[in-house]
Chains A and B, each alone.
Chain A
Amino acid sequence: MRAIAEGLFTDETSPRLVGGRDLATGRIVFPCPESEGYEPVPLSRDGTLWSYTVQRFRPKTPPYAGPEAFSPWIVAYVELPGETIVEARLVDVDFDDVTIGMPLRLAPTPLDPGAAEPVMIPAFAPAGGAA
């Protein structure tokens, strides 16, 4: 898997997101800051939907690096119990079927599905397959 940035995912067959644990307070954040005060920790693959919205227009480039052709996507905040709430895309679900609290599982998705060698970005999908 080719990730959009180094250090974002673990190097496993089924990757996990990498958060950062504040060595002084134990607080976990995502992504792991490039700072001596944090150690990388793999985050849970499973969580629940904390909140979301649908991005209905193509964001400005720069900084957006997605394909020119635009179709709306879901921006989700996913609570990983006892760890942190991460912002990521939500895929494999119709906009009308999204409900806060629904169980989700990490499912990295390509930024540009049409690219020859797409880069993968953080995303979740409904747990147990497509809704």
Chain B
Amino acid sequence: MSDVCIVGIGIHKFGRTDGVSGVDQGVYAVRQALADAGVDWPQVQFAYGSSDAAGNPDTMVDRLGLTGVQFINVRNGCAAGGSALFSAQMAIKSGEFDLGLAVGFDKHPRGAFNALPSEYNLPDWYGEVGQMVTTQFFAAKIMRYMHMFGISQETLGRVAEKAFRNAVNAPHAWRRQPVSLAEILEAPLVSDPYTKYMFCSPAEGGVALLLASEKKARELGKPLVRLKAATMRTRPAHSFEVFAPSLDVVGNDSVPRGTASRIASADAFRLAGIGPQDISVAQLQDTEAGAEIMHMAENGFCADGEQEKWLAEGLTEIGGRLPVNTDGGCLACGEPIGASGLRQVYENVVQLRGDGGGRQVPGNPKTAYSHVYGAPGVSAVTILER
């Protein structure tokens, strides 16, 4: 079967853009992607759009043109963008279409996500005692992992330091000022072991990717960036997820539990026919610094515990063995849920085209990997090849 290719990319700056709605940030990204591919909106045969909190994506046809295009809205928690991309590539793989769009945008209120127990089928007392707080879960998860595999708080700090440093050269990032390791580690704790620099914030932004069949991509004359795999998976039994008043006791708790990420990752590598050692650059979900650490292992790039050495030796720096989160990831870009997974793929296309400027991965990267994970145990992975 011929490959699905990414022929156009567009992004609206992440962070805070007062006075510009989420939909309009999405429209901005779509127009940029169309111009990048050299196609006009009427040529687009279908679209999948994701937004969690900023309205229905299909309303953007008002701005883009009422061509009658097929437009399907996708909501799938933190995997929404990845799900839109998965669906778009399937539409082309099926042979039904040649050219289509995956678009995601969001605009969240300031501050931590505020959830109510009833929205998660939990009793009211769970919120009343103060346990309806996402940061508690992420902190307890890494605390257990640090205990099991000897990861230090300093290593968590190095992840955040790298994120802000990489973002300096990423025009679409939000927080683009370097922060020293000492400042990160000495900042107030939000939820132990995480200081305020080690969590990302809800934010705004929009990303659009134009996908085409290989035949169509050749007609457009674009360098072929092939989507070798796109997977979306849900959690296995016994996984530890957010807002869990209890979790299962397991027979051997000295090894990591199964996760949606492990399943999505293994399936993506199987589909692409390559392994973790073949990847040149990776964007891994880093809603907190420890997430990047755990996801390095869950996606097969290193063994549990090796991250301590990897970070100390700079192996995930832009010039390292496996550059990770080259645009600063969620820590520096913030997390507009509908757009976040697509941002990772945008960044990977930039890297494979060699357009990364000050953040370009050296040595002509040929393969790029992206991974999102979120509530309630969902994950989406893509592998691109040039």
- A56:B247 contact, CB within 8 angstroms: no
- B244:A87 contact, CB within 8 angstroms: yes
- A52:B140 contact, CB within 8 angstroms: yes
* Complex contacts, A59 vs chain B, CB 8 Å: 130, 132-133
In the complex, whether A62 has a CB less than 8 A from a CB of chain B is yes
Q: Smallest CB-CB separation from A74: which chain B residue?
A: B192
* Complex contacts, B143 vs chain A, CB 8 Å: 51-53, 100
- B144:A51 contact, CB within 8 angstroms: yes
Residues of B within 8 A of A (CB-CB), count: 35
One of B183-191, B258-266, B302-310, B372-380 contacting the partner = B183-191
- B249:A55 contact, CB within 8 angstroms: no
Contact residues, A1-47 vs B (CB, 8 A): 4-5, 8, 19, 27-31
Chain B CB within 10 Å, residue with most, of A29, A60, A64, A111: A60
Q: Smallest CB-CB separation from B191: which chain A residue?
A: A53
* Complex contacts, A53 vs chain B, CB 8 Å: 136, 139-140, 143, 191-193
Measured between C-beta atoms, what is the minimum distance from A107 to chain B in Å?
14
- A30:B246 contact, CB within 8 angstroms: yes
- B116:A84 contact, CB within 8 angstroms: no
Measured between C-beta atoms, what is the minimum distance from A123 to chain B in Å?
9
* Complex contacts, B124 vs chain A, CB 8 Å: 5, 63
In the complex, whether A75 has a CB less than 8 A from a CB of chain B is yes
- A75:B136 contact, CB within 8 angstroms: yes
In the complex, whether A54 has a CB less than 8 A from a CB of chain B is yes
Measured between C-beta atoms, what is the minimum distance from A113 to chain B in Å?
14
Chain B CB within 10 Å, residue with most, of A5, A75, A82, A121: A75
Contact residues, A63-104 vs B (CB, 8 A): 63-66, 73, 75, 77, 79-87, 89, 95, 100
Within the assembled complex, what's the spacing in Å between the Cα atoms of A54 and B131?
A: 11
- A19:B246 contact, CB within 8 angstroms: yes
Which single member of A5, A54, A89 contacts B192 (CB below 8 Å)?
A54
In the complex, whether B252 has a CB less than 8 A from a CB of chain A is no
* Complex contacts, B189 vs chain A, CB 8 Å: 54, 56
Measured between C-beta atoms, what is the minimum distance from A69 to chain B in Å?
13
Contact with A along B107-134 (1 / 0, CB 8 A): 0000010101100000111111111110
* Complex contacts, B190 vs chain A, CB 8 Å: 56-57
Measured between C-beta atoms, what is the minimum distance from B257 to chain A in Å?
11
- B130:A77 contact, CB within 8 angstroms: no
A-B residue pair count with CB separations less than 8 angstroms: 107
In the complex, whether B216 has a CB less than 8 A from a CB of chain A is no
- A95:B192 contact, CB within 8 angstroms: yes
Known: A4-B129, A51-B144, A55-B133. A63 touches B247 (CB 8 A): no
- A56:B191 contact, CB within 8 angstroms: yes
* Complex contacts, A29 vs chain B, CB 8 Å: 245-246
Q: Smallest CB-CB separation from A58: which chain B residue?
A: B130
* Complex contacts, B192 vs chain A, CB 8 Å: 53-54, 56, 95
- B191:A85 contact, CB within 8 angstroms: no
Within the assembled complex, what's the spacing in Å between the Cα atoms of A81 and B124?
A: 27
In the complex, whether B248 has a CB less than 8 A from a CB of chain A is yes
Measured between C-beta atoms, what is the minimum distance from B254 to chain A in Å?
12
- A87:B246 contact, CB within 8 angstroms: yes
Within the assembled complex, what's the spacing in Å between the Cα atoms of A60 and B133?
A: 9
- B245:A63 contact, CB within 8 angstroms: no
Contact with B along A102-129 (1 / 0, CB 8 A): 0000000001000000000110000000
Contact with A along B143-155 (1 / 0, CB 8 A): 1100100000000
- B136:A55 contact, CB within 8 angstroms: yes
- B247:A85 contact, CB within 8 angstroms: yes
* Complex contacts, A73 vs chain B, CB 8 Å: 130
Contact residues, B178-210 vs A (CB, 8 A): 188-193
27 residue pairs from A and B, CB less than 8 Å apart: A4-B129, A5-B123, A19-B246, A27-B248, A29-B245, A29-B246, A50-B144, A53-B139, A53-B143, A55-B130, A55-B133, A60-B114, A64-B127, A64-B132, A65-B128, A66-B128, A66-B130, A75-B131, A75-B140, A84-B248, A85-B246, A85-B247, A85-B248, A87-B244, A95-B192, A100-B143, A100-B144
- B residues with a Cβ closer than 8 A to A are 112, 114, 116-117, 123-133, 136, 139-141, 143-144, 147, 188-193, 244-249, 253
Instruction: Known pairs A30-B246, A75-B140, A87-B245; list 10 more (Cβ under 8 Å).
Output: A51-B143, A53-B140, A55-B133, A63-B132, A66-B128, A73-B130, A87-B244, A89-B129, A111-B129, A122-B129
